[in-house]
Structure 1
């Protein structure tokens, strides 16, 4: 732990976290497919050692108390801000998202913002009974060692969502980043560990075997995971043996409903970014849009006009706001869903085919009109720059469609605010936004229902989720 904030260049930072020459696994630039560096490939034995060190460090970390831990998180935020540009450039290359727009610089800034908000959120002792005869208080204590498993779409920000509340409440953290985007997360951890005590926060870069062991390890008291529903189910099964507590933010297929009487041009920009933030690679992005017949064509035209103005390309180009798909597997999923929609009568309004002139993993913004429920692009999460637009005639039918899948992370309703709120109350989703989609706030709880997982993150509820309640009675 150091008291000074260092500002590092990209080469120095990368050398601190990557594997030695000739070792590790090569990580490619998502846009150019050139080598960025070599991710360490650690083993289950390395994980066992990391968890043992985290367990040894946890009592001392908890004993520092909320005030000191919060002060150190504030210093970690300072360190990230001092290195924000180098982190954003590494993130842009590894994940693919451009520097500008709601992308790489935005993500790094969100990491600092969430650290500060989490550090400054009070969690007061609650007096549950005080009737003159009985006095009882509800306290929240550290759960122990938190095992965190992060995704590749927002690798740094979602890692902070797991790390910040866990550390704030006195837990230590062992975190495994995605195999697709390990370097940016490891770089962030290295900067934070310049100010945090030894072994309070440990990164492990390994394969799926390491992730599976993290979920089932007897030394882990809490597992936090963001990723697919299928993997979430495996984590639930793996954690049964050690009874680890779980927070699972799983897959979504968020529906948006546009009510009759809404002005398409007034909402087109917000609709676009609700669907295509991070080139559509966002769990709570708008992924299927239900539009009333009376304004259907106008909404399609307004979205197409916005899409035509959004430049796509290499993320290090300051002009671009859309990037490639992060990996070939996801590129193939997106391509296959578009072709299936085309074969099932979908009308390609924009895009509709890969853009090899931009690079291997680029797929342009694609609007697919005139599709229906039952088509794979509507029923399955595309997780890419494609939006199916579905016509409806009756609001009850749109609500039924929104609720018809076994996911419920987010949803949105667009139109008159009072009417939209009435419709929102009927939708089965953890969050329903009114006249926007996908925005998160460090003080507003966030989590899914149905196949989108369980547990809450952010704010006071997020602090409680990485704690164990204790009643002091008397």
Structure 2
């Protein structure tokens, strides 16, 4: 459908353009989005220019004091209403997500519903986020009070666009910040529809969408009138955001790349371990922040494990499937597929064996098969760098100690998984792995509200959980003393 915004045509797919103050679009170059499943056109979205970026930040700045003065309980009421609207529009959002990124519809729908739940969670957590009273002098009162930063720029990712954005937007808004949100240029329609739904209940100027590519994101991150920049995405972009924030004085909150290891002990069932490895490496075509990126398996079960993992990879099929198969969508675009394939071919040239997959399919779209690499060595890129694709590189180790030592190496520190029946090995692993999250005997999962700080090149600050509210506020220390009464 085509609508007019600010006197300029805006060709979009699947969402209704909002008022100009809520969607900042320019009249110049447009983002052209194609479906990675078949290469068909999803739609085009005009990118914002410098004028639109300035107007978006200025509008958010003007709206912030009034929004912050609202009772936090009232902000929570609005967010609960927004969460209900997201649930009602879940199928529309999931359909757009599927069209733009190729994510299987069932997985996309689960992500939308998780996002709606996260918005509702922060609606409840906001009113109980509090400061502390301090023990001072008898005649005074001392306390700390959390205050919003002000204007937050949120640069969100494409691999789970609704769930990721909902956490950041929900926490920022309930704590009294206003937000300028730039969804990923790979799924702008999904991001715009999400923001439009939230804006159905929010006051004018509290949440503004800005469409654009990485240059627009860089421009937003470098603005001196922004107080907090939140980025979920690649490590390279995260470092650029951090450098810009260091110049402007803004706070940077980053969740960036990972190279998460899976350590398979020699005492586990190899078939079960292969199933866990496949879930971790191939879910969402490997395009998850905490995907399994490298596997260290004990030599005692390596042969059986590899055979079972190859069988698991063969079950991952595109499109319609048999009951025993698992649907796997394409990679987000052809350019990203090229990067994934480069790592695979580099490993094969360096001596790795490709047991299954590893070839670019014929035809349109950006599909890539579930791939298993054996005989991997530490110097290969596929073990050193984030692949972000359906690739399971396996390294055989002599014992648990060697596997743990190698799993602990590298620049990233997002998450790690250990499969073992030994409590001693589990205890040793979670203490020694230098990552924010360690999972034992399950590649995905965990209690609601869990939060961790990524380490190293994986970012800085809490990106989820109740602790995210603290990241969105800064504490002010207040001392209330008794004044001296003057003459009447």
TM-score by structure 2 length? 0.89
Counterpart contact for 2:35–2:365, Cα < 8 Å: no
1:451 — aligned with what?
A: 457
Which digits, 9 at most, give the CA deviation of each residue in 1:436-474, with x for residues without a partner? 224466511133101111101222211000101112234
Match of 1:384 among 380, 389, 403: 389
Counterpart contact for 1:223–1:246, Cα < 8 Å: yes
Counterpart contact for 1:410–1:429, Cα < 8 Å: yes
Structure 2: any 5+ residue segments left out of the alignment? 1-11, 481-488
SS in 2 for 1:286: coil
Match of 1:401 among 385, 388, 406: 406
Counterpart contact for 1:31–1:96, Cα < 8 Å: yes
Counterpart contact for 2:13–2:43, Cα < 8 Å: no
Which digits, 9 at most, give the CA deviation of each residue in 1:219-273, with x for residues without a partner? 1100000112111111111112321011111111011111120112233333222
CA separation of 1:229/1:20 partners in 2, compared to 1, >3 Å: closer, same or farther? closer
SS in 2 for 1:469: strand
Counterpart contact for 1:30–1:94, Cα < 8 Å: yes
Please say which structure displays the higher CA radius of gyration.
2
Shift of 1:132: 5.2
Q: Distance in 1 between matches of 2:140 and 2:403?
A: 52
2:431 — aligned with what?
A: 425
Counterpart contact for 1:279–1:324, Cα < 8 Å: yes
SS in 1 for 2:300: helix
2:486 — aligned with what?
A: none
1:105-116 residue pairs with structure 2 within 5 A? 105-116=109-120
Structure 1: any 5+ residue segments left out of the alignment? 1-10
Q: Distance in 2 between matches of 1:200 and 1:440?
A: 32
Q: Distance in 2 between matches of 1:332 and 1:473?
A: 59
1:14 — aligned with what?
A: 15
Q: Distance in 2 between matches of 1:193 and 1:314?
A: 36
Counterpart contact for 1:98–1:320, Cα < 8 Å: no
Q: Distance in 1 between matches of 2:385 and 2:339?
A: 10
Q: Distance in 1 between matches of 2:220 and 2:318?
A: 37
Q: State whether structure 2 residue 159 is matched by structure 1 residue 153.
A: yes
Which digits, 9 at most, give the CA deviation of each residue in 1:36-70, with x for residues without a partner? 11112111210110000001111111111211111
2:143 — aligned with what?
A: 137
2:329 — aligned with what?
A: 323
Counterpart contact for 2:84–2:116, Cα < 8 Å: yes
Which digits, 9 at most, give the CA deviation of each residue in 1:334-372, with x for residues without a partner? 111111111222121221212225x43111100111111
1:365 — aligned with what?
A: 370
Counterpart contact for 1:96–1:314, Cα < 8 Å: no
Shift of 1:22: 10
Match of 1:289 among 262, 287, 295: 295
User: Which 10-residue stretch deviates more, 226-235 or 141-150?
Assistant: 226-235
Match of 1:168 among 152, 170, 174: 174
